[in-house]
Amino acid sequence: MYRIGRLLSCGGAIALASLSACTGPTDSADFWELNAMRPGHVFPQSSPATFVNTFDQFCVEGPDSLRAMDVLLRRSGYVPLRSNWGEGGRTYVVDDMRPAIMVSGTSCAAVAGSRTGQTDRARRYIGTRFPGAEPVREEMDTEGAREIWLVGTNPPDMIGTARHVGPVPGSRFVILRQREGLFAGP
């Protein structure tokens, strides 16, 4: 089953925790960069275009290994939170208006604060980027997912969007790509 809620509850809780508590030793560059980060930029209200373009860059066009993804995200200005969550998952944040990126061995997601126009832009992006995408009925265990599409075959990728209310007031919008073995190796 596809588990959007699990991704959100694990990574979302970590990302919303005190940033300094998740950054590791105080002598690391990551600690100091995250310590200086504006809290509103953990899940910023990314514009609809920035939101889907960032998802496309990292989760669709990005590399197929977690190690290569780490390098790409760091070169793009992202810093990982120290805490990991299930299946080797990590949350990467950047101190600007780009969404957080959450990756694990089976999924990659962009997560941002809700903003007008995101849902429509995500739907148009999915329809254009994946013209053969098939909507999935709500009987699937979607754990809060608003919409799910299957893309490709053997096995298909799942692309989903969801709204999630985290421990801090305010809704988050997520677009997720999930597939067993999405990332080929470490």
Q: What is the pLDDT along the chain (186 residues), one digit of tens a residue?
A: 444 444 444 444 434 333 444 445 556 788 888 888 888 778 889 999 999 999 999 999 999 889 999 999 999 999 998 766 666 789 999 999 999 999 998 899 999 998 899 999 999 999 999 999 998 865 455 455 678 999 987 788 999 998 876 655 558 899 999 987 676 655
The answer to whether residue 12 is domain-embedded is yes
Cβ neighbourhood burial of 148 (10 Å; 0-12, 13-18, 19+): buried
User: Can you list the alpha helix ranges (DSSP code H) found in the chain?
Assistant: 4-16, 29-35, 48-55, 66-75, 118-129
The answer to whether residue 8 is domain-embedded is yes
The answer to whether residue 154 is domain-embedded is yes
The answer to whether residue 11 is domain-embedded is yes
Domain span at 34: 4-178
The answer to whether residue 22 is domain-embedded is yes
The answer to whether residue 185 is domain-embedded is no
The answer to whether residue 186 is domain-embedded is no
* pTM to 2 decimal places: 0.80
The answer to whether residue 50 is domain-embedded is yes
Q: How many domains does the chain have?
A: 1
